């Protein structure tokens, strides 16, 4: 039997960090195991290739939810990264940490050591910011964070229009005051996507004590006498076991980690029994507290110079490709929507709960799942509710580890989420109607000028809204009976087993989740080293 000190399951945003940091100690052996393939592909490296990866099942798990009653029975598509780098290899590359109040709230819920003051050093440690080191940013970390490769006058005008409606200009959305309107930063290095794998594993993959395996499907965690002893895997069609002398760390993300716990007999006993799985550890919170961001889309037809749609069609598309290959710049080097505003849906809100974005281009997916840029000048926008109170869950469909669980997101089930989302759509319209952005707009395409009442806007949110693809919370950290892991990310009721990924978030962060997942990986690795579980005796 293969034996390692630490086994990290999942080479995604957090897992790559954990494996890299643990393997800094040459005295321990670390295995990083990933179900997907290597992600060294043109569409992964090129930032604009994200659209090509959205439905690409080679690099994407391409999940679908169950029909969502609160959306009129719609199913919702959930892309998740499959391969080295996980979802950091297919996402929009946005580097946004969340608001300081997010982490202070985690601490207030009993999670000691997770306040903003506690986590900021880990954000800083991981980061090599293009703008250099400062009180709030790192300059020498593994993960490269950069400004947008090119700017556009329409994006500038969105910033100015947002200021006209009372949203202050910000120089840094990841620094004080953490609310305002500005250009975003991205996990892009020299025009190429910089994934968690590129940042944390690729430079150190030569370490003799670090083993990286791809194409290996983990089917369960092995448990013995109340402790994790290793994992069972399917590798090249064969089922076998790998031992962990110190700890097993699940970093599969908010969808895979709870699934693995359930398959291993950790979860709600009655639900597990229904599928013929013996409940080794009763943990009713596994798979519960599912949270995600829901967004409402907008689009406007604009004057010709106000959109770069024409630059991504016909001959111009190939010229942009040459520009990118020669310089690493241009519109193909951009991440998702370049500008955003963080604002409050209601005057009495204690923090920003809306993320409002604009991009000077529009596209649709064709029947084969490829993005096709529109053949007329247009601008797209979105309104994301950052602090939803709606909660969903995931559940086993089958004891077969290769069958995905059932996802029940329960979007817009909370009345306050509906009220605040509608307010966000109205605020986006106010920005579009404000100078100087208004001078560029010909007419509103989505949801359209005829959609004016709250009832109509809600119907738009239900029919045309979509997931922000930021699922968290399904192995929630806490000190109450429903918490799955404790504040040191140890699975409650089991020794030598932790979860370190987005699933541990008690509440979703008010921003994009990738940066927070990397921070969780940094902090989780430090906790493992500080706790220093002695190696148990393992017979080969």
CA distances from 79 to 13, 17, 26, 60, 260 (A): 15, 22, 36, 6, 19
> Is 8 in contact with 15 (CB distance < 8 Å)?
yes
Please count the CA atoms within 13 angstroms of the CA of 206 that sit on its side-chain side.
1
In whole angstroms, give the CA distance from residue 447 to residue 457.
Answer: 8
Sequence-separated (6 or more) residues with CB below 8 Å from residue 223? 229, 264, 265, 280, 281, 494
Q: Which of 144, 259, 460, 470 is catalytic?
A: 470
Each residue of 265-291: b (16+ CB within 10 Å) or e?
bbbbbebbeeeebebbbebebbbbbbb
- For residue 44, what is the enclosing H or E element? helix 42-45
CA angle 315, 321, 324 (to 5 degrees): 145
In whole angstroms, give the CA distance from residue 180 to residue 170.
Answer: 5
Strand-pair category, 216-224 with 227-235: antiparallel
For residue 410, the tally of other CB atoms under 10 A from its CB is 20
Sequence-separated (6 or more) residues with CB below 8 Å from residue 437? 154, 157, 158, 160, 161, 431
CA distances from 448 to 234, 425, 443, 445, 453 (A): 50, 12, 8, 5, 12
Q: How far apart, in Å, do the first and last CA atoms of the chain sit?
A: 5
Segments in 230-328 forming alpha helices (H): 253-263, 269-274, 314-327
SS3 24: coil
> Is 180 in contact with 159 (CB distance < 8 Å)?
no
Sign of the torsion angle spanned by Cα atoms 15, 18, 21, 25? negative
SS3 318: helix
Nearest to 482 by CA among 230, 294, 258, 264: 258
The one-character DSSP state at 472 is B
Sequence-separated (6 or more) residues with CB below 8 Å from residue 85? 11, 12, 13, 16, 39, 44, 195, 196, 197, 198
Q: Is 460 among the residues known to form the active site?
A: no
In whole angstroms, give the CA distance from residue 327 to residue 509.
Answer: 35
Which string of DSSP letters, residue by residue, matches 112-150?
TT-SHHHHHHHHHHHEEETT---SS--SSSSEEEEE-SS
In whole angstroms, give the CA distance from residue 502 to residue 504.
Answer: 5
Strand-pair category, 294-302 with 281-282: unpaired
Positions annotated as catalytic residues are: 470
């Amino acid at each position: 039997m293969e034996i390692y000190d630490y086994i990290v399951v999942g080479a995604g945003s957090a897992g790559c960090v954990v494996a890299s940091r643990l393997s800094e100690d040459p005295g321990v052996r670390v295995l990083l195991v990933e179900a997907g393939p290597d992600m060294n592909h043109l569409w992964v490296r090129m930032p604009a290739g994200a659209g090509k990866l959205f439905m690409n099942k080679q690099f994407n798990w391409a999940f679908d939810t169950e029909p969502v009653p609160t959306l009129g029975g719609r199913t919702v598509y959930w892309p998740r990264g499959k391969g080295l780098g996980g979802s950091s290899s297919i996402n929009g590359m946005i580097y946004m940490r969340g608001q300081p109040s997010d982490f202070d709230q985690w601490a207030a819920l009993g999670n000691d050591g997770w306040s903003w003051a506690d986590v900021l050093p880990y954000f800083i440690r991981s980061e090599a910011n293009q703008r250099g080191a400062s009180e709030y940013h790192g300059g020498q970390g593994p993960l490269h964070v950069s400004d947008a490769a090119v700017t556009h006058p329409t994006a500038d005008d969105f910033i100015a229009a947002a200021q006209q409606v009372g949203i202050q200009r910000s120089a840094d959305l990841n620094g004080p005051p953490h609310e305002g309107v500005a250009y975003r930063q991205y996990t892009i290095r020299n025009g190429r996507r910089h994934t968690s794998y590129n940042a944390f594993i690729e430079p150190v993959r030569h370490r003799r004590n670090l083993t990286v395996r791809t194409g290996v499907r983990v089917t369960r965690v092995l448990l013995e006498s109340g402790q994790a002893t290793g994992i069972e895997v399917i590798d090249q069609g064969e089922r076998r076991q790998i031992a962990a002398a110190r700890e097993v760390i699940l970093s599969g993300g908010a969808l895979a980690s709870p699934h693995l716990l359930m398959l291993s007999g950790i979860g709600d006993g009655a639900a597990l029994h229904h599928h013929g799985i013996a409940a080794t550890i009763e943990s009713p919170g596994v798979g519960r507290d599912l949270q995600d961001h829901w967004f409402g889309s907008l689009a406007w037809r604009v004057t010709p110079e106000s959109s770069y749609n024409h630059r991504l069609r016909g001959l111009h598309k190939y010229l942009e490709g040459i520009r990118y290959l020669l310089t690493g710049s241009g519109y193909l080097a951009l991440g998702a929507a370049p500008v955003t505003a963080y604002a409050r849906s209601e005057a009495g809100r204690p923090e920003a709960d809306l993320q409002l974005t604009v991009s000077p281009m529009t596209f649709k997916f064709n029947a084969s799942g490829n993005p096709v840029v529109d053949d007329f000048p247009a601008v797209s926008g979105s309104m994301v509710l950052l602090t939803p109170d709606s909660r969903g869950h995931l559940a086993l469909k089958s004891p077969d580890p290769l069958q995905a669980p059932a996802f029940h997101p329960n979007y817009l089930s909370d009345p306050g989420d509906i009220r605040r989302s509608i307010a966000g759509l109205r605020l986006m319209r106010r920005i579009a109607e404000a100078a100087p952005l208004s001078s560029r707009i010909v007419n509103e395409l989505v949801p359209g000028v005829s959609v004016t009442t709250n009832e109509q806007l809600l119907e738009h949110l239900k029919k045309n809204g979509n997931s922000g693809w930021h699922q968290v919370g399904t192995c929630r950290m806490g000190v109450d009976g429903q918490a799955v892991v404790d504040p040191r990310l140890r699975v409650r009721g089991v020794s030598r087993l932790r979860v370190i990924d987005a699933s541990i978030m008690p509440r979703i962060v008010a921003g994009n989740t990738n940066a927070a997942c990397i921070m969780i990986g940094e902090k989780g690795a430090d906790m493992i080293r500080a706790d220093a579980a002695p190696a148990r005796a393992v017979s080969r």
